[in-house]
Amino acid sequence: MFTIITARDIMTSPVYTVRPTDRVKRIIALLCTHRISGVPVVDGKGHLVGLISERDVLEAMYPRRRELRQDRGRTSSGTTEREANVDRLLARDIMIRQVITAPPETDALRLASIMALRQIRRIPIVQGRKLVGIVSQGDVYRAIFQGGAPGEQESDAPRQPRRPPYDMRR
């Protein structure tokens, strides 16, 4: 029997988050330590106010490299060369403010469609304005591929444990 897989079923929760006043150096450490490629920015009430990806950090570190820049909803703070000094940058300086989100009831195929059309790799899951989880592209594809297609019987084979995205032993 086919069951609809929703964001609630596949989201990571709790989510690593940062505050708008956190330094970019802390964000870099968080991304590297936990092997994640992006992190939501939340206010004191847990409301989503932005999102920072590895690319956002890279663009801030190398502002003169035109090939790294993209216009993705970031409001300009009028900074140019000072951004190269990562020690002084805060999350609010580099975060994307117009974040595409979804509620927990969103089905996995809809999430895949949004990711493909918007060319994004993660979608924060919100209940109202409060961040409750995050779904990555890998989460969505695993759910779709392992969940089976409509009309297929689900396999009794155990699911493989999730591998870290980067294994230092390779």
Q: Provide DSSP, 83-118.
A: GG-GGG-BHHHH-BSS---B-TT-BHHHHHHHHHHH
User: Of 105, 109, 106, which Cα lies nearest the Cα of 150?
Assistant: 109
Q: What pLDDT digit, counting tens, does each position of 137-148 carry? A: 999 999 989 874
Q: Give CA–CA dist 46/35, Å, rounded.
A: 22
For the chain, the structural domain boundaries read 7-147
Q: Give CA–CA dist 18/34, Å, rounded.
A: 13
SS3 166: coil
Reported as a pLDDT band with limits 50, 70 and 90, residue 109 is very high
Of 3.20.20.70, 3.30.420.40, 3.10.580.10, 3.40.50.2300, the CATH number of 7-147 is 3.10.580.10
Decide which of 67 and 134 is more confident: 134
Res 168 pLDDT > 70? no
Q: Give CA–CA dist 130/15, Å, rounded.
A: 12
Decide which of 137 and 77 is more confident: 137
Cα–Cα–Cα angle for 131, 136, 142, rounded to 5 degrees:
130
Decide which of 87 and 5 is more confident: 5
